[in-house]
Amino acid sequence: MDLADGAVGMEDDLVDQLLLARGVPREDLARHRNPTLREFLPDPSEFQDMDTAAERLAQAVLTGEAVTIYGDYDVDGATSAALLIRLLRMLGHPAGYYIPDRLLEGYGPSGEALVRLAEQGSSLVVTVDCGAMAHQALQQARDAGLDVIVVDHHKCPVELPHAVALVNPNRLDEGDIGAAHGHLAAVGVAFLLAVATVRALRSRNYFETRPEPNLFALLDLVALGTVADVAAIHGLNRAMVSQGLKVMARRENIGMAALIDASRLSRAPVCSDLGFALGPRINAGGRVGESTLGVRLLTTEDPDEARAIAAQLSQLNEERRAIEAAVQEEAEAQLVTQHNRAVVVLAGNGWHPGVIGIVAGRIKEKTGKPSVVIALDADEETGNGKGSGRSITGVDLGAAIIAAREYGLLVAGGGHAMAAGLTIEAGRINALADFLDEQLGRAVSMAQAQQSMLLDLAVAPGGLKPALVESLESAGPYGVGWPGPRIAVGPVRLIKADIVGKDHVRMIAAGQDGASFKAIAFRAAESEMGQALLHGSRGRNLWLAGRAKIDDWSSRPQAELHVEDAAWAN
C-alpha cells in the first residue's frame, strides 16, 4: 500500500483535499464541491450533428409524425429510451419504442426491424445506445424512406453509417469540446439531445401556449444509466449523477419508485445502489427475461403496473444470479490455461449470453486482467459465439475489438474503453486471443505496474465514525474515473474472522485505542489476503485498507470498513 500524494494536510479540509487528490485545480474547488448542470453542461451545439438531430426531432413534434425510439436491451439503452419517450410526452407528442431481443436479434438495430417500423407508419426512428456501427441496417432504413437519428457513445469507425444525424462524442471527427465528453453514457448524450430539442422548439415559439418541460426531472434516468453502464463519474457525468440522485429521492417517476421499493431500499438511493441494486434489475429483463420490461417500467404512469414489473424484474434478477454462478464456475475452471495471457479469453458451450458480461467483470476482478467471455452456439465446432469483455483502467478494450473486427477475426464487434461486445466464429477464438495479447500486452503490463493502492487518509480505529464517512461521501458521487476515497485503519488485531455468504470474509477488529469496528472483504475467502485474514492474523497487528461505509442495519448507524487490502504492522 502506498500513501497518495493527496494525504490530508493541515492547510485543507478533508473534502478539499479529496478533490485536489482527484485532479481538481485549487481555483476550481468551489465548482466541484457542489457539481451542478449550470456549471458543467456544455452547449449541445458543440457536438457534431446535434443541431441537425434536434431540428429533425423538433420537426417531428411540430408536424405530429410517428416517432419510434429504438433502444438497446441493457440499462443504458433502457434509460436512454425512457428519457426520450418521457421528453416527447412532456412535449405533448407520444412515441413508440422498439427493444430487440438479446437472444433472437442480438445487439444493435437490424435492417429488418427498421423497415418493419417504417411499414407500420414510423417516419422517424431514434436509436439510443446503438447504431454507430450499423452500416447495413441504416442503409436499409434509408432505402425504405425512413429517417434515423443515431444517439450513441460507443467507439465509431472512420466511415460512419448513413443517418440523418449521428450524435456521438466518440466520433473521430468530433471537436475538442465534444470529444472531451467521450466518457458520457448514451443516456447522457440523450439528455443533451433533449436540451437541444427544447431549445429548437423554443426558437419556433412552440411554448407560447404550453409550459416548457422540466428537463431536470429526467436526471434520475441519467444517473441510473450512467452509473450502471460504468461510465466515468467526473465532469458532466458527476454533475448529472449528483443532481439525478436528488431527483430520485423525490420519487416522482412512478416506475423508478417501484424499482427502489423492489430493491428493498428503505432510504434514498446512493450512487452504489444504482450499480448494485437498481441497475441489475433493469438489466435482468434484457439478459434472461423480456427485453422491454425496463422501458415499460421507467415510462409507466400506472402504480400497479409499476409494482408488477418491478417484482418481475426482481425475480428475473434472482434467476440471473443462479445462471451467472453456474457460468462463472465453469469459466473459472478454465483460468489455469490463461496464466501467460495478457487478456483472458474464455469460451464455453451452452453458456447463457445474457450473463457473460457480468462473468467477464468477475473474471477481470479475480485476475486483474481484461477479460472476454464467449458463449458458443450448440455446435461449438462450426457455430458462432457471442462474447462480452470488460477491461481494466488504462486498457482500451473497445478499440482492440474494433481492430480485431477490421482485421477479419470477428463477425461483428465494438464497444468503448471499459467494455466491448463481439460475435466470432468458434474456430477463430484462439486467433482472437493471440491478437488481443499482441495488441494490448504492453498496455496491460503498464496498467498492472500502476496498480498499487493509493490512500486518501489513515486513521486510528477510534476515528472510524459515521461523521467521517459522511465527510468522505460529500466529495462524491464516486465511480470509475472519480474513485471513492480509500482509508487505512490501524494498527489493529482481529478479534474475529470468519466466512459469510459464499466467500466473504467478515471481521471484527480492535485497536490499541480500545475502539473496535466491523469489517468485511467481499469475495476474498479464497484469495491470498483472505486466507491470511482467516488463518494467519492471530496475535499479529495489521493495517486494513478499503472504503469506509455506514452500516445502517442496526438500530444505531455505525461505520464499518469494506476491506480491499491488508498489510502487517509488525
Helices (H) and strands (E) in the chain, counts: 21, 18
Domains of the chain (ranges plus CATH)? 41-315 (3.90.1640.30), 334-449 (3.10.310.30), 453-568 (2.40.50.460)
- Binned at pLDDT 50, 70 and 90, residue 6 comes out as very low
Q: Across 426-552, where does the E strand assignment appear? A: 454-455, 457-459, 487-500, 504-511, 516-521, 542-551
pLDDT tens profile 159-212: 999 999 999 999 999 999 999 999 999 999 999 999 999 999 999 999 999 999
Kindly tell me the burial class for residue 174, based on how many C-beta atoms sit within 10 Å of its own C-beta (0-12, 13-18, 19 or more). Answer: buried
Identify the pLDDT of residue 554: 67
- The secondary structure of 313-326 as a DSSP string is HHHHHHHHHHHHHH
pLDDT tens profile 522-538: 989 988 899 999 998 78
For residue 5, pLDDT over 50 is answered with no
Give the neighbor-by-neighbor strand order of the sheet with 344-349.
Answer: 344-349, 371-376, 384-390, 419-425, 412-416
Q: How many residues does the chain have?
A: 570
The 8-class DSSP code of residue 73 comes to S
Identify the pLDDT of residue 3: 38
pLDDT tens profile 424-467: 999 999 999 999 999 999 999 999 887 777 899 999 999 999 99
The structure's pTM equals 0.86
For residue 318, pLDDT over 80 is answered with yes
For residue 551, pLDDT over 90 is answered with no
Q: Give the Cα separation of 274 and 47 in Å (integer).
A: 28
Q: What is the mean pLDDT of residues 348-361?
A: 93
Residue 2 pairs in a beta bridge with 454
pLDDT tens profile 106-115: 778 999 999 9
Residue 389, amino acid: G
pLDDT tens profile 215-251: 999 999 999 999 999 899 999 999 999 999 999 999 9
Q: Across 460-541, where does the E strand assignment appear? A: 487-500, 504-511, 516-521
Q: What is the mean pLDDT of residues 57-80?
A: 97
Long-range contacts at 465-469 (CB < 8 A, ≥ 24 apart): 465/559, 466/550, 466/557, 466/558, 466/559, 468/548, 468/559, 469/548, 469/549, 469/550, 469/559
Identify the pLDDT of residue 379: 55
Q: Cα 530 from chain centroid?
A: 28
pLDDT tens profile 84-119: 999 999 999 999 999 998 878 877 899 999 999 999
Query: SS3 breakdown of the chain: % helix, strand, coil, rounded to 5?
Result: 45, 20, 35
Identify the pLDDT of residue 287: 84
Identify the pLDDT of residue 12: 54
Identify the pLDDT of residue 20: 92
Identify the pLDDT of residue 297: 98
The angle subtended at Cα 549 by Cα 545 and Cα 550, nearest 5°, is 145
* Cis check: omega of the bond before 477, within 30 degrees of 0: yes
What spatial distance separates the first Cα and last Cα of the chain, rounded to whole Å?
15
| Whether 120 contacts 149, CB under 8 Å | no
Identify the pLDDT of residue 120: 97
**CB burial string 112-147: b at 16+ within 10 A, e below:** ebbbebbeeebebbbbbbbbbbbeebbebbbeeebb
- Binned at pLDDT 50, 70 and 90, residue 2 comes out as very low
Alpha helices in 47-203 (DSSP H): 50-63, 75-90, 111-119, 135-143, 176-179, 186-203
- Binned at pLDDT 50, 70 and 90, residue 10 comes out as very low
Q: Give the Cα separation of 30 and 23 in Å (integer).
A: 14
For residue 288, pLDDT over 90 is answered with no
For residue 8, pLDDT over 60 is answered with no
- Contacts of residue 550, defined as CB under 8 A and 6 or more positions apart, other chains included, come to 466, 469, 470, 557, 558, 559, 560
